[in-house]
Structure 1
Amino acid sequence: MEEEVKDLGDYLDIVRRHKYWVIIPAIVLIFLSGLVAYLLPATYKSEGLILIESQEIPNDLVRSTVTSYADQRIEIIKQRIMTTAKIMELVKKYNLYSDLRKKSPVSEIVGLFRENIAVVMVEANVTDPRSGRARRATIAFKVSFMDKSPQLAQKVANDLVTKFLVENTRVRTDRATETTKFLEEEANKLKQQIQLAEKKIAEFKDEYSDSLPELLEHNLSVTERLQSELAYNQNQIRALIDLTTTLRTELININPYITQKILGEGTQVPVLTAEQKLVSVQAEYDRLSAKYSESHPDIKALKKQISDLEKQVKEEVKGTGNISSNAKFTRTRNPIYGQFSAKINASEREAVRLQERNDVIKQKIADYDERIVRTHQVKRAYDDLTRDHSSQLRKYEELRAKQLEAELAQNLESENKGESFTLIEPPLVPSKAEKPDRVKLFVMGVVASIGAGLGLALLIEMLFGGARGYNQIARIVGQAPLVVIPMISSQEDMIKRKDGRLKIVLLIIVLLGLSIVGFHYWVMNLEVFWFKLLRKISLL
Structure 2
Amino acid sequence: MGDIDVHFYLSILRRRLPYILLCVTASTVLALIFAVFQPRTYQSSAKILVEAPQIPVNLVRSTVQTSSMGQLQIIQQQVTTRDNLVKLAAKLDIYAGEKEQPPVEYLVKNMRSRIIFEETELSGGDGASVFTIGFEAKSPLLAAQVANELATSILSGNQKQRTDRAGNTLEFFDDEVKRLDGDLARVEAELLKFKNENRETLPESLGFRRTQQSALQERLISLEREQSDLRTRRSLLVETYMVTGKYPTGEPLTAEQQMLLDLNKALSDQLTVFSETSPNIVALRARIAALRGKVVPKKQEGGDTKAPSGLDFQLSDVDRRIEAIEQERAQITGKIEELTQSIRATPATDIRLNALERTLANTQTQYNTAIAKRAEASLGQQMEARSDGGRFSLLEEATQPQQPLRSKRRLIVIGGILAGLGLSLAVIALLEILNKTIRRPAELVQMLQAQPLAVIPFINTPYETRTPPLKRKLNSVTRIFSHR
d(CA) in 2 for partners of 1:117, 1:145: 5
- Contact 2:237 2:248 (C-alpha < 8 Å) held by counterparts: no
Q: Identity across aligned pairs (percent)?
A: 27
The residue aligned with 1:186 is 176
Give 1:431 shift. Answer: 2.2
2:141 pairs with 151, 166, 171, which one? Answer: 151
| SS of residue matched to 1:165 | helix
The residue aligned with 2:167 is 177
- Contact 1:71 1:138 (C-alpha < 8 Å) held by counterparts: no
Change (3 A) 1:127 1:243: farther
Give 1:180 shift. Answer: 2.0
d(CA) in 2 for partners of 1:76, 1:274: 120
- Contact 1:177 1:410 (C-alpha < 8 Å) held by counterparts: yes
d(CA) in 2 for partners of 1:126, 1:59: 18
The residue aligned with 1:268 is none
2:37 counterpart of 1:64: no
Change (3 A) 1:247 1:45: farther
- Contact 1:101 1:109 (C-alpha < 8 Å) held by counterparts: no
- Contact 2:120 2:131 (C-alpha < 8 Å) held by counterparts: yes
Give 1:38 shift. Answer: 8.2
Instruction: Note the 1:242-257 alignment, pairs <5 A.
Output: 242=232
- Contact 2:240 2:247 (C-alpha < 8 Å) held by counterparts: no
* Cα offsets for 1:478-513 (capped at 9, x unmatched): xxxxxxxxxxxxxxxxxxxxxxxxxxxxxxxxxxxx
The residue aligned with 1:111 is 109
The residue aligned with 2:150 is 160
- Contact 1:256 1:333 (C-alpha < 8 Å) held by counterparts: no
- Contact 1:70 1:138 (C-alpha < 8 Å) held by counterparts: no
- Contact 2:49 2:128 (C-alpha < 8 Å) held by counterparts: no
d(CA) in 2 for partners of 1:144, 1:54: 23
- Contact 2:206 2:343 (C-alpha < 8 Å) held by counterparts: yes
2:376 counterpart of 1:405: yes
Gaps of at least 5 residues in structure 1 are 4-24, 129-136, 259-271, 280-316, 318-330, 449-540
d(CA) in 1 for partners of 2:99, 2:181: 58
Give 1:364 shift. Answer: 0.7
- Contact 1:257 1:332 (C-alpha < 8 Å) held by counterparts: no
d(CA) in 1 for partners of 2:46, 2:314: 117
d(CA) in 2 for partners of 1:364, 1:141: 86
| SS of residue matched to 2:168 | helix
The residue aligned with 1:223 is 213
d(CA) in 1 for partners of 2:253, 2:216: 47
Matched to 2:207, the amino acid is E
Change (3 A) 1:386 1:256: closer
* Cα offsets for 1:113-166 (capped at 9, x unmatched): 1111112122256669xxxxxxxx662311111212222211111111111111
The residue aligned with 2:118 is 120
Question: Computing the radius of gyration over CA atoms, which structure comes out larger, 1 or 2?
Answer: 1
* Cα offsets for 1:142-194 (capped at 9, x unmatched): 11112122222111111111111111111111111222222332333333333
The root-mean-square deviation of aligned C-alpha atoms, in Å, is 4.8
The residue aligned with 1:269 is none
1:418 pairs with 386, 389, 392, which one? Answer: 389
Q: Structure 1 or 2: larger strand share?
A: 1
2:227 counterpart of 1:237: yes
Give 1:217 shift. Answer: 3.3
d(CA) in 2 for partners of 1:273, 1:355: 33
The residue aligned with 2:328 is 357
| SS of residue matched to 2:405 | strand
| SS of residue matched to 1:141 | strand
Q: Whose RCO is larger (CA < 8 A, sep 6+)?
A: 2
Change (3 A) 1:56 1:239: farther
2:76 counterpart of 1:78: yes
The residue aligned with 1:55 is 53
d(CA) in 2 for partners of 1:49, 1:253: 132
- Contact 1:122 1:140 (C-alpha < 8 Å) held by counterparts: yes
- Contact 2:52 2:128 (C-alpha < 8 Å) held by counterparts: no
Instruction: Note the 1:340-489 alignment, pairs <5 A.
Output: 348-436=319-407
Give 1:342 shift. Answer: 7.5
d(CA) in 1 for partners of 2:397, 2:372: 41
Matched to 2:45, the amino acid is E
2:211 counterpart of 1:208: no
d(CA) in 2 for partners of 1:104, 1:43: 19
| SS of residue matched to 1:102 | coil
d(CA) in 1 for partners of 2:191, 2:129: 56
d(CA) in 2 for partners of 1:425, 1:147: 19
d(CA) in 2 for partners of 1:169, 1:274: 117
Give 1:413 shift. Answer: 1.3
- Contact 1:44 1:434 (C-alpha < 8 Å) held by counterparts: yes
- Contact 1:71 1:121 (C-alpha < 8 Å) held by counterparts: no
Gaps of at least 5 residues in structure 2 are 1-6, 8-24, 258-297, 299-303, 418-484
Change (3 A) 1:108 1:256: closer
Aligned length: 355
Greater Cα offset, 379-388 or 76-85 = 379-388
| SS of residue matched to 1:98 | coil
Matched to 2:404, the amino acid is A
Give 1:37 shift. Answer: 8.0
- Contact 2:95 2:101 (C-alpha < 8 Å) held by counterparts: no
The residue aligned with 2:85 is 87
The residue aligned with 1:501 is none
d(CA) in 2 for partners of 1:417, 1:242: 97
Change (3 A) 1:101 1:117: farther
Instruction: Note the 1:313-324 alignment, pairs <5 A.
Output: none
d(CA) in 1 for partners of 2:40, 2:66: 39
| SS of residue matched to 2:183 | helix
- Contact 1:121 1:138 (C-alpha < 8 Å) held by counterparts: no
Provide the TM-score with structure 1 as the length reference: 0.54
Provide the TM-score with structure 2 as the length reference: 0.60
Matched to 1:387, the amino acid is R
